[in-house]
Amino acid sequence: MAQDEHQRVQRIKEYVLARLSEELACAPRGAQAQLAKKLGVSGAHLSNMLSKSPTRQPGEDFRRKVAALWGVSYGQLESIALGEEASPESRLKPVAWRAEDAPPNLTAVLADYAWMPELPNDLRGVVREQARQHLRFGGFDYALDEWQRILTGLEREALALLANRVSGFPARDADASHSTRVKNRKT
């Protein structure tokens, strides 16, 4: 394989792994196992690819399965990963979400949701994507009132993030808070 082709493939591999890691970072417990099952690989194999010091690389078959899962062709995945011009069709929909996969209850709640006016549009998009990730890894469409509660909770978290940014205070570190409480109990 020529050096240029090797670098090209390496960039595609890095993109796929980074994107998968990003999607799983906010996903609920068990999401990685569900993803491995959807992709037809063992949980250990996927874990070895996504590890901080990976012992496995995503081969072409795996990358093709990921492209299919994301709803794009392998050629579109390559174009996106390499920052090349993708086809107009692929630019209209996010890679991780296909509109035809939207369940009726989530779609209805998103369409009628009364957003807090303080929440900017870019953070509304983040909340929508988090709800979709919740669906993707939760596996089913909740009742309308449950989706309403989920969106409200996600919106509140986004507003708290915005408030922390504006006030200059860093976001609360749950692990640091927990370790402080544990230390205080021991003394």
Q: Are 141 and 135 in contact (CB under 8 A)?
A: yes
Q: How many CA atoms lie within 13 A of 119 on its CB side?
A: 21
For the purposes of burial, counting CB atoms within 10 Å of the CB of 109, is it exposed (0-12), middle (13-18) or buried (19 or more)? buried
From first to last of its 187 residues, the chain has per-residue pLDDT tens of 576 888 888 888 888 888 888 888 777 888 889 889 988 999 998 999 988 888 888 888 999 888 888 877 888 888 888 776 544 444 434 444 444 456 788 888 888 888 888 888 777 877 887 887 777 777 678 899 999 999 999 999 888 888 887 776 555 554 444 444 444 445 4
The torsion region of residue 175 among left (phi > 0), alpha (psi -120 to 50) and beta comes to alpha
Rounded to the nearest angstrom, the gap between the alpha carbon of residue 61 and the centroid of all alpha carbons in its chain is: 21
Alpha carbons 54 and 144: distance in angstroms, whole number: 41
Q: With contact defined as beta carbons under 8 Å apart, do 108 and 144 qualify?
A: yes
Question: Does pTM top 0.75 for this prediction?
Answer: no
**pLDDT for 98:** 47
H helix intervals, 26-138:
31-39, 43-50, 60-70, 74-82, 88-91, 104-112, 121-138
Three-class SS state of 87? coil
User: What pLDDT score was predicted for residue 102?
Assistant: 66
